[in-house]
Structure 1
Amino acid sequence: MLSLMLIIAIMVPVLAFAATAGFSTAKYEYGNVTGSVYSDVYAVGAGDSVYVYVYSGGSIVTSTTATYDTYSDGKYYYNFNASAIGYNTLDLVTKVTYNNTVSDLATLTVNRVITGNNSNGGGGGGGGGSSISNGAISVSSDGFVDPNTLSTALTAGDITLKLSGTVALLPASSLVGNGSKTITVTNDFGTYVLPVSVFKLEALAKALNIEVKDLKIKVTIAKADSTTSDAVKAAATAVGGTQLADAVDFNVVGIDKDGKTTSVDFGKTYVSRSVNVSKAVDASKTTGVLYNETTKKVSFVPATFTTVDGKNVANIKRNGNSIYTVVESNKSFADIASHWSKTDVELLANKLVVEGSTDTTFEPERNITRAEFAALAVRSLGLTSAAPASTFSDVKSDAWYASSVATATYAGIINGYEDNTFRPDAQITREELAAIVIRAMDYASISTNVTDPQSVLSKFKDSNKIVWAQKEIAAAVNAGIINGLTDDTIGSASKATRAQSATMLKRFLSTANFIN
């Protein structure tokens, strides 16, 4: 009898808690489930806990410990907050551990909502969801995209997602088999045009240690916060420019149900995104820029400018995520005032691709070194700088060009010599220059194939002096990137000047539609 009474005494608090427990509030929005549970008996002491378990389709999504908050109106309240990204309906179960015994206390079903709370006993609140209208899917502010809606839309062709907020959560299961399609994501801050082929779903799932069916692609288009925006404005001013657009963060990652992310590698695919510009611009004096949060500097990214539905728009192309804006400059140099390269040099200076030897001089006729042109090639492609590498015996890791050489080498647009040297200070020849520009075009997926190189080179009487880059020079001539020194000479062995380099890069960027 005594034993029975002790058992009953131990169980009474739990039973009382279970009998009087419930969900006071529960809300599911922006990928989070928040709320509180209550009881009129405080049954949890040291070593005991109240939990909330989150289920979807009978499988647990996540769980969290509810934290004691307050005592009010004869009840004890416990708050909870759990991440549950991209589900439509969730089942909540609150449990208590008491004296190492786990007991169910209450259950509640909640639907994904945009605003408002759900009371105990019931689902939903409704709101949100993704619906198709005129070929576009409207996405509510929590970013949820219904898998069936997305699959149906992609079956019909390319689609547009119109965001109410800043985030879209694309279920990977709906992307499988749609590698030829394109998803355009747009909101008030900008537009992102994403080929489905850039999402290497299996690799992303593996990186997160999940299956593809549990993977989502999180796309974010958001205005930079005030601290970052101020830093971007300061960086634009530092290069002598004026900022003409909000700083907008474009980001794409793979994400699992717990919110763990992994970066999406675009490879060599230049992905388009656009931002609104505050005024009509002179494209020769305006450029898209990337803001580097580590260096606090801005740098050139490929961008063209247009007007769409009365709005001035910058179309930015790059194979990576970052914060972007638009900068206007008006640069010139005294020593190019009457030089044949004046227009090209000024344009590329305003694009932040080339720099002067000083603030007032460019030295257009000075020969350019291999290291200098490697830096220009990397800059013109808008590449993310790689860490200095020990690839070449004569490139020291602390040299100003070490990162540029490593980046250009990694991208396959520049090579060293057979003796494992790069010869960074050697003056570059027109032959080498042409080859590097053609490799840059290949990197940007611009066709440079020439069926019969000799027929292209036949008009140059010195074409037999080309040492190794016959195909590359023929391709450069065919694409209008390089001209002869005269009508019948190519001058492949001649040392290239800074003016020639700038002009060839300008032609490359125009051919690639990286500038206008």
Structure 2
Amino acid sequence: MVVTEPMGAEQVQTGRIRIPADGPVQVSLALLQKWAKQNPSAAIEMHVGNLSYSIPLNEFTTEEWVARLGADADKAVIKIVITETNDEQAGKVKQGAANIGADLLVKPVAFEVQAITPDGNAVLLSTFARYVPRLFELDFDIEPGQTTGVYMDDSTGELLPVPTVFRIVNGKTVAKLYRKGNSLYALARAEKHFADLDGHWGKSIVETMANKLLVQGTSERSFEPDKPVTRAEFAAMLVRALALNHISDDASFTDVKGEWYGEDVRAATHAGLVGGYPDGSFRPDARMIRQEMAVTLRRAARYAGKPIEISDSSEKRTSFVDLGEAADWAQADIAAAAKAGMMEGDERNAFRPEAQTTRAEAAAVLKRLLMHADMYSE
């Protein structure tokens, strides 16, 4: 289907250019950019059967991507494709789900965007500046607390979680999967139980987050909820929770190369969520303290498109009784994490900035982060 200007002229002001289709959709890049100028917050929505794909028009105006098209960028045609996988691909995704103790609920679907220049050169738009939703309308019931969207990592073949929101629309469950990239997507169900969570305050939170594949145990039956979380572990948790792309370049810290968390630390660093030390180290085994966690959470909220604004005066002063004991560089972020409901004080309204954080606490704040970003439901 070729999209023409009259098809979207009226819809662009509503913010939703809805395109029903039964196959690939093609639209000129120049037209998409024209619509983006008319309404910068608008998106083009492709609907194929029970699937849909909503892409902000501003994604087609980024200088870096347009530059890849060369001199003929203004003549390029954008092709948007939603296709179910073949049996061989579906089998690989199903096996990937089994490898992580999950069951596949729908046939995997490929979401793809490419620009085709007049000379036939095709340039993939594989990553986005913001989280882009893909919708699955389901004709069966699910248990949201045991279900999540998943995608296949193209480099490893591993099945990984994506932030997912479930809503009931016209009597049917709609799953909205958020991620800043294209791949194969599906829905999976898991039911995790950890013996060492019985009687623990974090049992429900941790097991639900584990069902959604957002956190992992230290073994199949153990989570070690009260164990201090390390900087490397929290970086890995953030990467899973926010569905970050793994970074495989060699530029890294001196103490993470070759370790299980190396790619996760690089991904979190590339996204601006964590940093290292002047000596070039990351100190992956150092325990994550509360003020560092607050800084990281505020950065993550900004990355997710939901920044937390804090005034320099009143909001900081009315925060915690011991806020002055926190490092200067962390105080505004502590106040921000509290404002967003991601971190709390104790019964004395003390934040304890130098206190260690546990694995259960890390799972809890990641849930609150995703809720703050409107990318979580159960």
TM-score by length of 2: 0.92
| Residue in 2 that maps onto 1:152 | 9
* Residue identity matched to 2:198: A
CA-to-aligned-CA distance 1:481-509 (integer Å, 9 cap, x gap): 00113332111101111011111111111
| Residue in 2 that maps onto 1:247 | 108
Structure in which a larger fraction of residues adopt helix: 2
Tell me whether 1:172 sits opposite 2:32 in the alignment. Answer: no
Q: Which whole-Å CA distance do the structure 2 matches of 1:258 and 1:275 have between them?
A: 35
| Residue in 1 that maps onto 2:86 | 225
**Which deviates further from its counterpart, 381-390 or 408-417?**
381-390
How far is 1:290 from its partner?
0.7
Decide whether aligned partners of structure 1 residues 216 and 274 sit closer, same or farther in structure 2, where only a CA change above 3 A counts: same
Q: Which whole-Å CA distance do the structure 2 matches of 1:507 and 1:453 have between them?
A: 25
| Residue in 2 that maps onto 1:321 | 182
Q: Which whole-Å CA distance do the structure 2 matches of 1:169 and 1:401 have between them?
A: 40
| Residue in 2 that maps onto 1:23 | none
Decide whether aligned partners of structure 1 residues 265 and 372 sit closer, same or farther in structure 2, where only a CA change above 3 A counts: same
Q: Which whole-Å CA distance do the structure 2 matches of 1:319 and 1:154 have between them?
A: 25
CA-to-aligned-CA distance 1:14-55 (integer Å, 9 cap, x gap): xxxxxxxxxxxxxxxxxxxxxxxxxxxxxxxxxxxxxxxxxx
Tell me whether 1:478 sits opposite 2:339 in the alignment. Answer: yes
Structure in which a larger fraction of residues adopt strand: 1
Tell me whether 1:416 sits opposite 2:273 in the alignment. Answer: no
Q: Which whole-Å CA distance do the structure 1 matches of 2:109 and 2:300 have between them?
A: 27
Decide which structure has the larger Cα Rg and report it. Answer: 1
For the 8 Å contact 2:316–2:331, the answer to whether it is kept is: no
Which of 355, 363, 366 is 1:505 aligned to? 366
Tell me whether 1:430 sits opposite 2:282 in the alignment. Answer: no
Decide whether aligned partners of structure 1 residues 454 and 416 sit closer, same or farther in structure 2, where only a CA change above 3 A counts: farther
* Residue identity matched to 1:312: T
* Residue identity matched to 1:176: Q
How far is 1:279 from its partner?
2.0
Q: Which whole-Å CA distance do the structure 2 matches of 1:406 and 1:326 have between them?
A: 27
| Residue in 2 that maps onto 1:356 | 217
How far is 1:314 from its partner?
0.9
| Residue in 1 that maps onto 2:21 | 163
**Which deviates further from its counterpart, 351-360 or 259-268?**
259-268
| Residue in 1 that maps onto 2:51 | 190
**Which deviates further from its counterpart, 263-272 or 238-247?**
263-272
Q: Which whole-Å CA distance do the structure 2 matches of 1:155 and 1:512 have between them?
A: 25
* Residue identity matched to 2:375: F
Spell out the pairing of 1:377-416 with structure 2 (5 A cutoff). 377-396=238-257, 398-416=258-276
Decide whether aligned partners of structure 1 residues 376 and 155 sit closer, same or farther in structure 2, where only a CA change above 3 A counts: closer
| Gap regions ≥5 residues in structure 2 | none
Task: Please give the secondary structure, in 2, of the residue aligned with 1:174.
Answer: helix
Moved over 6 A (4+): none
| Residue in 1 that maps onto 2:231 | 370
| Residue in 2 that maps onto 1:444 | 304
CA-to-aligned-CA distance 1:108-141 (integer Å, 9 cap, x gap): xxxxxxxxxxxxxxxxxxxxxxxxxxxxxxxxxx
Task: Please give the secondary structure, in 2, of the residue aligned with 1:314.
Answer: strand
How far is 1:457 from its partner?
5.2
How far is 1:458 from its partner?
4.2
How far is 1:188 from its partner?
1.4
CA-to-aligned-CA distance 1:408-434 (integer Å, 9 cap, x gap): 111101111222221111111011111
How far is 1:150 from its partner?
4.3
Q: Which whole-Å CA distance do the structure 2 matches of 1:475 and 1:155 have between them?
A: 35
For the 8 Å contact 2:73–2:117, the answer to whether it is kept is: no
Spell out the pairing of 1:458-473 with structure 2 (5 A cutoff). 458=318, 460-467=320-327, 468-473=329-334
Task: Please give the secondary structure, in 1, of the residue aligned with 2:34.
Answer: coil
**Which deviates further from its counterpart, 489-498 or 306-315?**
306-315
How far is 1:202 from its partner?
6.0
Higher relative contact order (CA 8 A, sep 6+): 2
Tell me whether 1:496 sits opposite 2:357 in the alignment. Answer: yes
| Residue in 1 that maps onto 2:171 | 310
| Residue in 2 that maps onto 1:25 | none
Task: Please give the secondary structure, in 2, of the residue aligned with 1:221.
Answer: strand
| Gap regions ≥5 residues in structure 1 | 1-142
* Residue identity matched to 1:413: L
Decide whether aligned partners of structure 1 residues 204 and 415 sit closer, same or farther in structure 2, where only a CA change above 3 A counts: closer
- Aligned CA RMSD, in angstroms, stands at 1.9
Tell me whether 1:299 sits opposite 2:160 in the alignment. Answer: yes
TM-score by length of 1: 0.68
